[in-house]
C-alpha cells in the first residue's frame, strides 16, 4: 500500500494521509516528481511506460517520474524515483518548474539532471517501464507532436532545450 502526504494547492502540508487508488478529497493534492535526464553529449532519456499501466500505457515520457511517498521531501522523492526507474544515481538536480493539475489532484515538480554514465546501462523497473531511448535535441523537438510521446511536460522539456542546459 503506497501512502502519500496530502497538500493544499500551494503545497502546504495538510497532515493528511492519502493512499494510492483511494479517492482524494476535494481541495487536496499529492505530489509527483518528473526528472528530465540529459546525457553529457546532449541527448535526452525517454522511458517507455509499461503496457499494463492504467494511464498512457506504452507511451514514452521524459526521464523518470512518480509520486513522492509519505514522509519524503520532494527532492528525496525525485532522487528515489530516478534511481528506481532508471538505475541512475544522480548527485544534483536543477529545479525547472512546479505545476498544479486540478484534474489529477496532483502538484508536479519538474527537475533536470545530467547523466555522465554509459547510456546503454539504464535499468528498467519491472511493472513501470519496458524500454528506453535517447533522443538528440533536434529529435526531441521533432517529437513534440508525436502521439507515442507523453508530453504533459512539453514546456519544461522545451525550456531545457532552449536554455541549452545540456
pLDDT of residue 140: 82
pLDDT, one tens digit for every residue, the chain (166 residues): 999 999 999 999 999 999 999 999 999 999 999 999 999 898 999 999 999 988 889 988 888 999 999 999 999 999 999 999 999 999 999 998 898 989 889 999 999 999 999 999 999 999 899 999 999 988 887 877 776 556 566 777 777 777 655 4
Q: What percent of the chain has pLDDT over 70?
A: 92
Nearest 10 degrees: CA dihedral of 122, 85, 10, 20?
Answer: 170
Q: How many CB atoms lie within 10 A of CB 128?
A: 18
What pTM was estimated for this model as a whole? 0.89
pLDDT of residue 117: 93
β-bridge pairing 44-49 and 60-62: antiparallel
- CA contacts within 13 A on the Cβ side of 18: 24
Distance, first Cα to last Cα, the chain: 38
Architecture, CATH, for domain 3-157: Alpha-Beta Complex (3.90)
Amino acid at each position: 500500500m503506497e501512502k502519500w502526504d496530502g497538500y493544499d494547492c500551494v503545497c502546504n502540508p495538510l497532515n493528511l494521509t492519502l493512499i494510492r487508488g483511494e479517492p482524494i478529497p476535494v481541495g487536496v493534492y499529492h505530489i509527483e516528481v518528473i526528472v528530465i535526464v540529459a546525457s553529457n553529449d546532449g541527448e535526452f532519456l525517454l522511458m517507455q511506460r509499461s503496457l499494463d499501466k492504467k494511464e498512457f500505457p506504452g507511451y514514452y515520457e521524459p526521464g523518470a517520474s512518480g509520486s513522492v511517498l509519505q514522509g519524503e521531501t520532494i527532492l528525496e522523492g525525485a532522487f528515489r524515483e530516478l534511481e528506481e526507474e532508471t538505475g541512475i544515481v544522480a548527485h544534483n538536480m536543477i529545479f525547472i518548474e512546479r505545476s498544479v493539475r486540478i484534474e489529477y489532484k496532483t502538484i508536479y515538480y519538474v527537475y533536470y539532471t545530467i547523466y555522465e554514465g554509459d547510456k546503454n546501462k539504464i535499468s528498467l523497473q519491472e511493472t513501470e517501464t519496458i524500454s528506453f531511448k535517447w533522443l538528440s535535441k533536434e529529435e526531441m523537438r521533432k517529437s513534440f507532436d508525436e502521439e507515442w510521446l507523453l508530453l504533459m511536460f512539453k514546456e519544461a522539456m522545451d525550456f531545457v532545450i532552449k536554455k541549452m542546459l545540456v
